[in-house]
């Protein structure tokens, strides 16, 4: 799964995704947690950045007093359940990130501890998770957007850290994923189940301070020396 990520240079979104208009001004976020509002990229020709809450709301959750938002959706679910198949066909987005966190259990001084690791790409400072989004109207009839990050089986790099991983798209595949005219489920499903190359990823342990979303500074990205 993916429960935390970072977007450290949001000002680069404009050029990275060829937007005609810049996204809303925002500060770097080193510890994006569920329920945070973040930019997502939708459609193409041109691409558009909209602000959305991390926690996808299926249609049956809209009217509930306390709706439950999905932060991750298994890629396989898009094939198994018709509702999510339709979501993949009609409401795809890119989720910009500079890295994400995952926790791995290690034995330190004879004691088992869950240590957070920061995972990023070697060749891209800003990359994209494959996501889906939903829109519903608030009490004032204003549109509110919600998103989830798709997950897949881990590649050989991630397998040592966690049993799932977020779907990371190759840059050359982003337009194909966003293209609203692409209604070919098989090609889309292939995109979200193709494993990102292990040799393009890197990781290192970081402080447990990232466990709390209240902590949000670049110090979270400092490498941790394990004894």
Per-residue pLDDT of 197-213, as tens digits, reads: 999 999 999 999 999 99
pLDDT(76) > 80:
yes
Segment 27-56 shows an average pLDDT of 94
In a domain, 145, yes or no: yes
pLDDT at 163: 94
In a domain, 158, yes or no: yes
Burial class (CB in 10 A: 0-12, 13-18, 19+), 77: middle
Q: Which domain holds residue 168?
A: 5-221
In a domain, 226, yes or no: no
In a domain, 54, yes or no: yes
pLDDT(107) > 80:
no
In a domain, 227, yes or no: no
Segment 78-95 shows an average pLDDT of 97
Strands (E), the chain: 5-7, 29-32, 37-42, 48-54, 72-74, 92-97, 99-108, 111-121, 127-137, 143-152, 165-166, 201-205
pLDDT at 23: 86
pLDDT at 178: 96
pLDDT tier, 109 (very low <50, low <70, confident <90, very high otherwise)? confident
- Which residues are registered as beta bridge partners of 49? 41
pLDDT 10s digits, 154-176: 999 999 999 999 999 999 999 99
In a domain, 195, yes or no: yes
Total domains, the chain: 1
CA distances (Å), origin 110, targets 104, 105, 106, 161, 225? 15, 12, 9, 19, 17
In a domain, 74, yes or no: yes
Segment 56-63 shows an average pLDDT of 88
Q: In this structure, what CATH number is given to the domain that contains residue 177?
A: 3.90.1680.10
Q: Known catalytic residues?
A: 2, 102
Segment 71-79 shows an average pLDDT of 98
pLDDT at 72: 98
In a domain, 86, yes or no: yes
pLDDT(40) > 70:
yes
The residue that leads in pLDDT, 193 or 141, is 193
């Amino acid at each position: 799964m993916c429960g935390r990520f970072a977007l450290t240079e949001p000002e680069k979104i404009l050029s990275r995704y060829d937007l005609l208009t810049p996204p809303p001004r925002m500060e770097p976020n080193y510890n994006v947690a569920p329920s945070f509002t973040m930019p997502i990229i939708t459609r193409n020709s041109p691409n558009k950045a909209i602000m959305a809450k991390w926690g996808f709301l299926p249609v049956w959750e809209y009217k509930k007093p306390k709706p439950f938002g999905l932060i991750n959706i298994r890629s396989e679910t898009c094939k198994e359940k018709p509702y999510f198949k339709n979501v993949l066909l009609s409401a795809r987005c890119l989720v910009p990130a500079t890295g994400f966190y995952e926790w791995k259990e290690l034995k330190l001084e004879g004691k088992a501890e869950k240590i957070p690791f920061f995972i990023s790409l070697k060749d891209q400072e800003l990359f994209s998770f494959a996501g889906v989004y939903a829109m519903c109207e608030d009490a004032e009839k204003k549109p509110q957007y919600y998103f989830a990050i798709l997950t897949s089986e881990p590649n050989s790099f991630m397998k040592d850290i966690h049993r799932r991983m977020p779907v990371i798209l190759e840059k050359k595949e982003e337009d194909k994923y966003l293209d609203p005219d692409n209604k070919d489920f098989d090609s889309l499903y292939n995109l979200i189940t193709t494993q990102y190359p292990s040799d393009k990823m890197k990781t290192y342990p970081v402080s447990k301070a990232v466990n709390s979303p209240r902590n949000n500074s670049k110090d979270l990205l400092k490498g941790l020396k394990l004894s």
